[in-house]
Amino acid sequence: MLLSLFEGLPFFVLWPVLAAIGVGWYLVVCGGLYLLLHRSRLARGARRFKTQQQPTRADQVRGEVFDGVLSMSMVMGSIAIAFWCSYHGYNRLYADVSEYPLWYVPVSIFGVFVVMEVFEWTFHWACHRNDLLWKIHKHHHRYSNPTPFGVMADQPLDMFIKSSPILWIPFLFPIWDVALIGTFATLNFLYGTYLHAGFDPPFMPSPHSRFLVSAWHHNEHHAGSMDHNYGFFTGALDILFRTRLSPSDKAAKRPGYRCTECRGAATP
């Protein structure tokens, strides 16, 4: 389906076209959420759900947007390479959903989810353990009080590596193009936007959730506890390897500390 939309384009045209689409998607989604949480009439009421009480500096937001545009272009480069490989028969990315039984679509999506979760945790953990990888990844930690724009605010090479599953998943197993790109666009990008927004509304995972990653967990990773909370969707691997940090753990080290949920519960 998606493959057929761009079939016939040379690679040097395909990448810029996809990059323009991706950057537009990034600016609309992250820009809209930023305006809603920081500049709209709802911003004052939403502030009680903000993990860090201090406002984000304007120069940081500009830096996030600049880095985000470059990094999104790298992500779309990964997609362009995957498409090019499919056009030339090098991988098993397919356009016609009827090519495999319909039951295979959710199975392959689950496979993408598992690969993404394991790869994200492993690469993220390695970035904080290996000096060379840290030199690439530390740019992302410039933003200790991130906004929705921060989801893509990486050094471009860092983001290219993070998006590399788009390249090699179609070599592991057949995957419908809509399933692959859709899973990344929703689970990875949209959930990542929530994690970097720095707000914990009650309808999203609780900071005290045992197995899910909330905005609190990822914000805490940015704000100082960089040796904890590497998970992206679930805390399974953090729990397994003892790198999970909860609000209760932080309160044990800093008596009187309260997460957004606890602050709300304490408000009469």
Token pair, residue 204, equals 């999203």
pLDDT of residue 186: 80
Report in angstroms the alpha-carbon separations of 251 from 84, 110, 243, 259: 51, 35, 16, 9
pLDDT of residue 255: 87
The answer to pTM > 0.85 is: yes
Q: Residue 43: helix, strand or coil by DSSP?
A: helix
- Give CA–CA dist 38/197, Å, rounded: 10
Q: Measured on CA atoms in the order 63, 77, 24, 182, is the torsion positive or negative? A: negative
pLDDT of residue 107: 97
Q: Is 226 exposed, middle or buried (0-12, 13-18, 19+ CB in 10 A)?
A: middle
Token pair, residue 173, equals 């197993």
- Give CA–CA dist 229/246, Å, rounded: 9
pLDDT of residue 232: 94
Taking only the tens of pLDDT, the chain with its 268 residues reads 899 999 999 999 999 999 999 999 999 999 999 999 999 999 988 988 998 888 889 999 999 999 999 999 999 999 999 999 999 999 999 999 999 999 999 999 999 999 999 999 999 999 999 999 999 999 999 998 999 999 999 999 999 999 999 999 999 999 999 999 999 888 889 999 999 999 999 999 999 999 999 999 999 999 878 899 999 999 999 999 999 999 999 999 888 888 888 887 655 4
pLDDT of residue 265: 61
- Give CA–CA dist 175/173, Å, rounded: 6
Strands (DSSP E) along the chain, which ranges? 93-94, 175-176
Question: Phi and psi dihedrals of 259, rounded to 5?
Answer: -80, 180
Q: Which amino acid is at 172?
A: L
pLDDT of residue 184: 86
Cβ(199)–Cβ(119) below 8 Å: no
pLDDT of residue 267: 55
Of 24, 26, 6, 27, the C-alpha closest to 81 is 6
